[in-house]
Structures are given as C-alpha cells and as structure tokens.
Structure 1
Amino acid sequence: IVGIAARNTTYLTSVALGCFFNCTPFHGVNPCYQEDALSHCFRITKPSVIFCDGHDYEKIRNATKSFKADIYTISEHIEGVPSILELLEPNPKEHFYQPEKLTLGADQTVCIMCSSGTTGLPKAVTISAHKLMFENPVLTSEDIIYTSTALDWMSGLMITLFNIYMCCTRVITRQPFTPEHFIELVKKYKITNVTISPVQAVALRECPLFTTENVSTIKLLNCGGGYISKQTLAQIQNTLPRSMICFGYGLTEAGGVSGYFGLERGNSVGKLVPNIRLRIVDDSGRNLGPNESGEIWVNYPYHWAGYYGNPIETQRIYDSLGWFHTGDLGYMDEDGFLYVKDRKKDILKYQGLHFWPGEIENVVRELTEVLDCCVVGIYDERFGEVPGALVVKKKGGNVTAEHIVNHVKTRLPEQQKQLHNGVYFVDSLPHNNNGKILKREARDIFKKLMKEKQTLDR
C-alpha cells in the first residue's frame, strides 16, 4: 500500500496512475490532520511508501514511527529527503513496461479512503475498480473542471479520473479555497464544471465578486457532502441563471446514491442513480412507504471489501445480503425523490422525547443573517440531552440569540425541539476538509462557552 497525505499538485495524478498501473492500492489521508489522527489512519494500512508535502514531513515522520515507511516529498522538497522527482527520472525499462492485471477483476481494491470522521476517528474505506468506472454524461473533452479537494476525498479522486478518461482539462491550484481565488480562476481559465462543498457554496454566495459576469463560463455546479439550504441554492442559481446546479447524496463506502439537477424539489437530494436499489426501513428492518422516515439502506450490484482491517465495523454497516446500512435518516416521496434528514446516531432525547438536531438547524438557517449553525445536546440528569445552538452570523448581522430562539419556537412548537440551552455566536464551526461539521468538537465548544457564561453569571 502507498500512502498519500498531500495537497493538490499535478504530481498527485502521477502517483495515482502509478498505483493503478501496478495494482497497488493507495491510501489517501487528509494532510491537515493532526499527528495523532495521521498516526491512527496510517497504522491501519501501514503503507510502505508515503508521499507528502515537505511542509508536513516531520509530522508524517513522527506519525509513522511505529512502522517503517519510506517518505517522499511531493512538493516543498527538503535537502536529504527523497522526493518524487527522483522517481520521475527517465528509465530505459519504462519503454517495455506493461500494467499489472487486476487479479480479482473489477472487485479488486485499488484505493483506500478515510471515512469522514465527523463523530469519531476515521475508518479506512476500501474502493474497488468497479466503483470508479462510470460514465459522466455531462462532461466532454471541451470542459474545464475544478475542485479544491485532493486524493483524500472521493470528489478529488473522481475529478482526477474524469480528467484522464473523459479527456477534459483540469485546473489545479496549490492555494486553499477562497471565493476570491476561485472567481479569479474561473475568469482566467474559463472553468465550465465546478465541484464544491456546501461550506464553500455559502462562502461563494456571500462574496461581492460572485456576479453573473464574473462566473459566466460555469455550465454545471455540483454540490454535495453536507447540508445546504434551498435559499443558498436559489441565490447561487440567480447568479448562474444559465447553469445547471446538481445536488446529490452518496457515501464513501458505497458511492453515489442520488442526484438532481434543479431546485424545484427544495431540499431533495434527487432520484436514485442507475443500477442501485434503496430501502427506507424502521428499527426492525421493515420496509416503510412514501413519506415515512426511517434509515436509508442501499444496495449496489458489486462487492465491497469493507473497512480495511476492521471486520467488526464492516459487518455493522454491510449485511450478508449486500445492503449498506447508511446510518442516515430520510424518506422518499411518491415521485421517487429522496430526502435526507439527519444521522441516526445523532438522534437525541429530551425528557424522553426524540428530536433531530438537523431539523432544528434547517429552521435556524432560514434566517437570512445566519451563515451556518450546529445544534448539540448537552446532557442534564434531569432532562436528558438539552438542545442548544452554535451560530455563525453574517458579517455585520444584527440577529440576536433571542430572535433565533423565538424563530425556532414559532416554527417547531414541540417542547423537545426548543433551544433550552440557548444560542452562542462563534466566528466559525469545526468542519472536516469536505465541509461536514465535526459534531463532537462542536459540542465541546458549546460546553466551554456554557461554562464561561456560568462563571460570569456568578
């Protein structure tokens, strides 16, 4: 196994192709992880070679001390440390090279991704060749594509593959995403196809430079990986009146599940992609009907090898009949459109009554001065998990905690859905690299702010 913990660069494609041609799986890990998280991820797969940026060399070296790995820099090279440039030197044997065959066929594991890690440490998700090869009907060789993600996310991997087998042009930048830099790239390179996260979409919406004139070349904007309000999508569509907006739903473990072009269905994540089956089930595994909420199960026509080195977690999510138990709660309407409500494990209980943080978050996001929010439950032995909200408001926004609490009370009158623990304003919420809110860290922030307020009130 080859490890990759590097930011975007043209050399990443060379590493990925080298691994594919040799049938050597690579394990993509977010280079922004702290040392303990990197150590956790790489201890699972124990790669013999790791590619990283010179900036992260010491962090990677310390994180992999428990096993022997050769570390190569892929950028920001360091004197005395091996670099990818050495491997790219011409070799007379390359003229006679033949790629290795997939000994297990399309079910063979060709790469390993980390699960999102929003509620705990990431797991190592195996990805087969079968899952990576599918047709993209909206891309042509004339398209110019962009995403900020690298090979540690499925979106970055798929864009890399589209760049190769759809023969389109990809714009790669070393700079992290900012709306200003993104708009500069769109104008300079006439980007036509964009894949961004919900957090990036909100930042784009708020940028004064995000005008129809500045982004007129965009034909398709893909957004996924988390919740985005229909208000945000509508505002983006107003700026991109001649563009298609696609919002979808999928899992690292299983791949794409659904997608939809347009905004007519509000917050639906669309209809099922071809060749998969889906069930909505109750806690006993009984199938539910239209507009009945339950856990989403999906089934694909190919084998999944599971979480690398973790058969127990594999059996928990993937049953003997090939159904993925996603852990997501949702429902399907009469027309076959899927709606995702929340994570099953995120269900909380106040005074014995269940509530879904995501439902409250969606109501808070209706307020135009709110950029983002996260609802958490803080345990109290008298009441159970008491809801409260961390809120990021627009720059210069005047919305108050009282206004937010009252808005929720008006829209969701049930007692268990009230923000009994109040609202705290923060500059930002903890997100992973793909824009998903890290619930555990958010809860810790809320508890800290609660404690500080209680100290001041004494």
Structure 2
Amino acid sequence: MTTFATTPHQANSGLRVDLNAAAAVERNARYQADTVVVRYAGGDLTYAQLDDKAARLAGVLAAGGVVDGDRVAYLGLNSSSFLVTMLAAFRLGAVFVPVNFRLAEAELEAVLNGSGATALICEEGHRPTADTMRGRTSLARFLLVDDDTEAPATDAVGWEAWSPLLASALPVAGVAAKGADDPAILMFTSGTTGKPKGVVLTHGNIWWNSVNVELRLDTRRGDVTYAAAPLFHVGALNSFVLRTLVRGGTVVIRRGFEPQACLDDLVKHGVNSMFGVAQMFAALARVPGMFEADLSGLRSVVVAGAPVPPSLISLYAEHGLLLQQAWGLTETAPFATHLPAERTLDKIGSAGIPMPFTEVRVVDAATNRCVEPGERGEIVVRGPNVTAGYWNNPQANQAAFDEDGWFHSGDIGYLDEDGCLYIVDRLKDMIISGGENVYPAEVERVLSDMPGVTDVAVVGIPDEQWGELVTAVVSVDDPAAVTVETVHAWAAGRLARYKLPRRLTVVPVVPRNASGKLDRVVVRRLADEES
C-alpha cells in the first residue's frame, strides 16, 4: 500500500488526499449500496455488487502475485467486466492496461510486451488471438470472463474461468492509497502512423480532468452517462464514465455503438451525458424519429476525436441539442480545450477555450515562440491533466516535452482574437503540393458538407511534377454522382485551387480506428492502389 510522505506544514493542506477512484467506489458502496451503477445487457450492478466483485477479483489477482505497481491488462469489448478489472487493479495499486480489441496479432503482442503486464483478463472472442502469443509475453496469469451473457465463454486449456475464482475469493479489504503522481492507467496510442507508445496516466491526471469537466460542463451527482464508444479509448473512459463512478451516478454500457439502440437507450434511461465521435452523431441523426424523441435530459454531449462538420453541429442545434466540441489527446487525459455550450453556434468549428486548470498555447514549431492570433502553429499544452510521460520511452519524452514542461501535441491550430482554438491538422499529415502547404483536415471539412458524401479522408500521394497530389478517399451515397469534376464544382468557391483534390477514390467505408480518427496508413494504401 502506498504511503504519503509529508512535512508538518502539509498536514492539512490536502496534499495527502487519496485520489484512487476505487476508494470513491468503495465509499459509494458504503453509503448508497443499492444504487444501480452499471446498466448492462449482461447484467446490472449496484455499487455494493460492483465493489464486492472488484474486491474479489483483487483477491484473485493478489493470490496470483499481482502487487502494487504491476500491470493488469483487459482485452474485450465494453462491459461491466472492464470496470471490475480496472477497479480491482486500482484496489491493489496496480496499473490498468485497457487493450484495443481491434489490434492485429503483432500489434497486440507489442502492447502486451510493451506494458509488461503479468495478468490478462480476456473475453472469449479475443482468446484465440491471445493464445497465439502467450509464450512471447510477460503474462503469467490468464483469466477468462465466463459470466457475461453478452460474451459466452467455453472451457479453454490454459485459461482460468473467473466466475468460480470470484465466488471463492477472499475480498481484498481496503484500497491502496494513491496520490497525484502515482500511475493509474497505461493506455497505448492507436499506432496508425507508427509503433504505439504507452501513455502513463496518473491518478492525478484522471482527477484533474474530472475537475476540469465539472467546472466547464453541466454534470451533476446522480447523472446517467452513456458509454458506447470504446472504453479502451481515453475519451470514452475519462470524459464521463470514471467521474460518474466517483460521483455516485449510473453508467449505461453498450458493447458497441448501434444508432437505433443508442436512441432507444437515451430515451429509456434519461441519459444526461454522452461522449462520442462525429461519425456516431452523424449516424444517430439518420435514425427515423431521432429529433422527435424526448431527449430533454441530455445536457452534456461532447464530441471529439476527429473534426466535426459544422453542418452536423447546426443540424443538432436546430433541434435544441448542442454538440460541445472538445480537443485533446490520450496524453491530456483527454480534454485540453472545450467549447462552452453557449458558444456552440457563434464559434462553430472551434474546439473551444482551455480547460480551467490547463494551459494551451500555439507556437512556431521551429522557434517555440507563441504566434499571433490567427497565425497557425503547433498546439502545446501544460497542466495537471497532462501525462507524466511515455512508458519506458525516454526518447519519446524528450521529443514531446520541452524544458518548460510544455507537451508538444503535433497538432496544428490557431487561436482567434477571443482565445478560441481552431484545429487545422496534424503537423505530419500536411501535404506540400507545388510548394504550397495543404492541410488535409481543412479540405476534409469542406468535402464532408458536400451532398452525397458520407465520409472523407484527404492524403498526399507522391508525384514527380507536384511533389504530392491532393487525393480524396470518400464514401458516398451514389458513386456515379460524386466525381473529381463534381467535387471541384462544389469546393471551388470554398477552397483555393491548389487545395482541390486532383484524384478521387470511392470506397465503401473510409478507414477509421476505434477512436474515430482516420487511419491514414490504410487510406494512403487505398489511394495508392487507385493511382
């Protein structure tokens, strides 16, 4: 168990406060035991049941050798088991490693090895992949979730079914006390542009993001939040879910996002808060009766992870629903900026203003000096919600943090005269065509509003004459109606000529990762195949 060293004058300063979310859940189990904390098709849980199950799993893990500081991995879709595993790890002072269930075998092996996890809790659907690498990792314990009707499991050689272990386990009494600098979660970046990096999120990072959210958004005790975006992504987990557990509210968990089911849940459960990416809200808007449904309880709707078409924001606003844009990364746990609800329309397209306890600047990437309002540069962030660093990766830390502690995001943006941030693109995604800088996200925003286009990605393809050609990969309603010529006709008055796509590739689905971000590696491959 962690202990805190203090000097006498710190005794009443609050510096010794325990920030472990598992302690808050244990407290809620004591004072509101019968409140339903998890609504899930595989079985609802009260606070008492959630805390007891986490304490029992902690006992199982401890019996297998897991101690303070060890890593415990979870591989599976959204479920109550995800939360139980996280809280059990926290209870022991271990670090929780939520694994992207969409990873290929080599990527999964890299994450498990990179984390040094010694225990893996897994769902049946992902067990075969985990089996292929069990001898090539540090894993010593393999537990299979077998009590979830949404993820039926069968006996498997080399795996321990967790339900009989939980039933007979001695619950771990008490929760390891954790301070602001103690690691809580090891979350790996998506890795679509290179090898995934392990981002260390401390208990303090989690706490301060929650404080930022509470000061900026309309969240309340007892709120119902909706979780259909993947919980292994920091946006879904730490926007509302973790804070809801701490504050005594209810989390409606769905294994994945399905538009009609989402609408039904929002109405049935009187959902108050929700995190999602733009594609989720675009799909939800197409559900018949969406804007006639009673969504009066929905106060805080955050959309992030990828650029949001202004037309989508306007559509929701016309029906009294304000999509609140935010910007951040895994490294900022997740929010660095947020656009207040009341500014949704007059600052449409903006990612908002810095969160209350977070500093945000835009600097010249070469000199690190702040640029003037309206001038583009790299976005840098500093604050208690910013990661402590990358796991066992001093080179990445040196590249990401400057000597004054600013985290360099790699995103390009600008601040307007009112201090509102606008995201332009990723620094490394910029296209140089004929000597001109073209930012793919700028072109994507324009094309996403084109009638008939359902999704779009823009990349640069090598070209002898121009250096790179601006190339659009799109999914459309009618392939015959969207051509290079119709795209030019639509965008000509909205974009400079050198920004217009020279090539167009139509695909059934534009590749995105689980965070809703474009998978530009796959997009470039699709564009290359058509060139």
TM-score normalised by length of structure 2: 0.79
Quote the Cα distance in structure 2 between the aligned partners of 1:92 and 1:208. 50
CA contact (8 A) 2:205 2:387 kept: no
Q: How does 1:416-435 map to 2 (within 5 A)?
A: 417-420=499-502, 422-435=503-516
1:258 aligns with 2:334: no
CA RMSD of aligned residues (A): 2.0
Match for residue 34 of structure 2? none
Instruction: Report if the CA contact (8 A) 1:401-1:424 is conserved.
Output: no
What is the CA distance between 1:252 and its match in structure 2?
Answer: 0.7
Counterpart amino acid of residue 252 in structure 1 = T
- Cross-structure match for 1:162: 243
Question: What is the CA-CA distance between 1:301 and the residue it aligns to?
Answer: 4.1
The residue that corresponds to 2:225 in the other structure is 145
Residues 303, 279 of structure 1: CA spacing in aligned structure 2 closer, same or farther, 3 A cutoff? closer
**Alignment partners' CA distance in 2, 1:275 and 1:221:** 21
Q: 1:99 aligns with which of 145, 169, 175?
A: 175
Aligned residue for 1:454? none
Q: Show the 5 A alignment for 1:123-138.
A: 123-133=197-207, 134-135=210-211, 136-137=214-215, 138=218
How far off is 1:316 after superposition? 0.7
Provide, for residues 252-306 of structure 1, a one-character-per-residue CA deviation record: whole Å limited to 9, x for no partner. 1123111012222010011110122222111221211111111111111477431
**What secondary structure sits across from 1:432 in the alignment?**
coil
Residue number in structure 1 paired with 2:191? 117
CA distance in 2, matches of 1:54, 1:308: 29
CA distance in 1: counterparts of 2:171 and 2:270, whole angstroms = 39
Q: Provide the C-alpha distance between the structure 1 equivalents of 2:122 and 2:82, rounded to a whole number of angstroms.
A: 10
Counterparts of 1:191 and 1:435 in 2: how far apart (Å)? 22
User: Which residue is equivalent to 1:437?
Assistant: 518
Does residue 311 of the first structure (1) align with residue 394 of the second (2)? yes
**Structure 1 residues 159-205: Cα deviation after superposition (integer angstroms, max 9, x where no partner):** 3312311111111123x212111112223222222211111111112
Q: Which moved more, 1:316-325 or 1:433-442?
A: 316-325
How far did residue 214 of structure 1 move? 5.1
Q: SS state of the match for residue 440, structure 1? A: helix
Report the CA distance shift for 1:370/1:214 in structure 2 as closer, same or farther (over 3 A): farther
Distance 1:403 1:302, change over 3 A: closer
Contact 1:29 1:152 in 2 (8 A): yes
- Amino acid in the other structure paired with 1:3: A
AA partner of residue 32 (structure 1): R
Separation of aligned partners in 1, 2:137 and 2:485? 54
**AA in 2 matched with 1:72:** L
- Between 1:339-348 and 1:279-288, the stretch displaced more is 279-288
Could you tell me how far 1:77 is from its partner in structure 2? Answer: 2.4
Alpha-carbon distance in 1 for matches of 2:478, 2:268: 28
DSSP-derived class of the 2:160 partner: coil
Tell me by how many angstroms 1:418 deviates.
2.5
Write the distance in 2 (CA, Å) between the matches of 1:438 and 1:287: 30
Q: 1:238 to 1:87 in 2, by over 3 A?
A: farther
2:351 is paired with a residue whose SS is: coil
Which moved further from structure 2: 257-266 or 112-121?
Answer: 112-121
> Which has the larger displacement, 124-133 or 141-150?
141-150
The answer to whether the Cα contact below 8 Å between 1:139 and 1:166 also exists between their aligned partners in 2 is no
Q: Confirm whether residue 394 of structure 1 aligns to residue 477 of structure 2.
A: yes
Q: Is the 8 A contact 1:117 1:123 kept in 2?
A: yes
1:278 maps to 2:360: yes
Instruction: Give the AA of the match of 2:444.
Output: E
SS of the residue 1:388 aligns to: strand
CA separation in 2, counterparts of 1:170 and 1:433? 20
Change (3 A) 1:328 1:303: closer
Stretches of 4+ aligned residues off by more than 6 angstroms:
none
Q: What percent identity do the matched residue pairs reach?
A: 26
Residues of 1 paired with 2:360 and 2:324: CA distance?
A: 20
- 1: distance between equivalents of 2:170 and 2:446? 63
Q: Which residue of 1 aligns with 2:143?
A: 72
Say which SS state the counterpart of residue 301 (structure 2) adopts.
Answer: strand
**Residues 49-448 of structure 1 mapped to structure 2, 5 A cutoff:** 49-69=119-139, 70-74=141-145, 75-80=151-156, 81-92=159-170, 94=172, 97-102=173-178, 105-133=179-207, 134-135=210-211, 136-137=214-215, 138-158=218-238, 159-174=240-255, 176-213=256-293, 215-239=295-319, 241=320, 243-255=321-333, 256-260=335-339, 261=341, 262-282=344-364, 283-301=366-384, 304-394=387-477, 398-415=481-498, 417-420=499-502, 422-448=503-529
Gapped regions of structure 2 (runs ≥ 5) = 1-70, 146-150
For 2:93 and 2:518, the matched residues in 1 are separated by: 34
Cα separation, 2, equivalents of 1:63 and 1:209: 47
User: C-alpha separation between the residues in 1 aligned to 2:369 and 2:418?
Assistant: 21
The 8 Å contact of residues 108 and 129 in structure 1, kept in 2 or not, is answered as yes
Q: Is the 8 A contact 1:230 1:263 kept in 2?
A: no
Structure 2 counterpart of 1:201, one-letter code: F
- Identify unmatched segments of 5+ residues in structure 1: 451-458
SS of aligned partner of 2:488: helix
CA distance in 1, matches of 2:281, 2:122: 28
